[in-house]
Amino acid sequence: MDFYEQLVQIYLTVFEHCFVLPQPPIKLSETEEPVDLFLGGTRWEKYPDFLALDFSKGRIYIIEVTKSLDQGAVRDKVKGYDQRSRDRIRKWIQKSHPGALQVCGGGIDLRFYVRNQEVADKLQRDHQDVEFRSLETVFEAVKDKMP
């Protein structure tokens, strides 16, 4: 986990009051059942930077953090979370963590933290089903609370 990811984790827990699961290995078998971490047979896998559960808003967030200013690289990463991938993550959550979807109201959203607000705004215009936030806003929030 790099510095930016650590800051986002602090932000999610301290400011948004989310339960955060860092870098969960989401693995599904040929039959799309969750796979034990230490066994083979994985057909599909994804490693988001975080899964964040926001109990007050009833949402589960798939969180990705990128410090790249290359919008093309970020767009490619967004494409990796198409609807099929999101459905698979939902299935993994249902099978691996029974009750999490019920507790969080069943909603799963995709959120990217990107380098700056300009990049976030440009990407947001093109990807309405994804939330983009800037790392600058995370820095601003955290710096005011640092001792």
| Collapsed DSSP state (helix, strand, coil) of residue 130 | strand
DSSP state of 133: E
Write the DSSP string, 14-38: IIS--EEEES--EEE-TTS-B--TT
At residue 125, the pLDDT reads 94
DSSP state of 54: E
At residue 38, the pLDDT reads 55
Q: Which residue has the tokens 């969180």?
A: 63
Average pLDDT over residues 141-146: 82
Q: Are 80 and 69 in contact (CB under 8 A)?
A: no
Q: Of 34-43, 56-65, 91-100, which one has max mean pLDDT? A: 56-65
| Collapsed DSSP state (helix, strand, coil) of residue 39 | coil
Over the stretch 108-131, which tens digit does the pLDDT of each residue have? 899 999 999 999 999 999 999 999
Q: Which residue has the tokens 């699961």?
A: 21
| Strand-strand pairing, 59-65 and 44-46 | unpaired
Q: List all residues 6 or more positions away from 102 whose beta carbon is below 8 Å from its beta carbon.
A: none
Over the stretch 33-45, which tens digit does the pLDDT of each residue have? 666 655 565 677 8
At residue 145, the pLDDT reads 77
At residue 120, the pLDDT reads 92
| Overall pTM surpassing 0.95 (yes/no) | no
Choose between 7 and 27: higher pLDDT.
7
Give strand pairing partners of 26: 46
Q: Any idea where the domains of the chain sit in the sequence?
A: 3-143
CB burial class (10 A; 0-12, 13-18, 19+) of residue 126? exposed
| CA-based end-to-end distance of the chain | 23
3-143 is classed in which CATH architecture? Answer: 3-Layer(aba) Sandwich (3.40)
At residue 28, the pLDDT reads 76
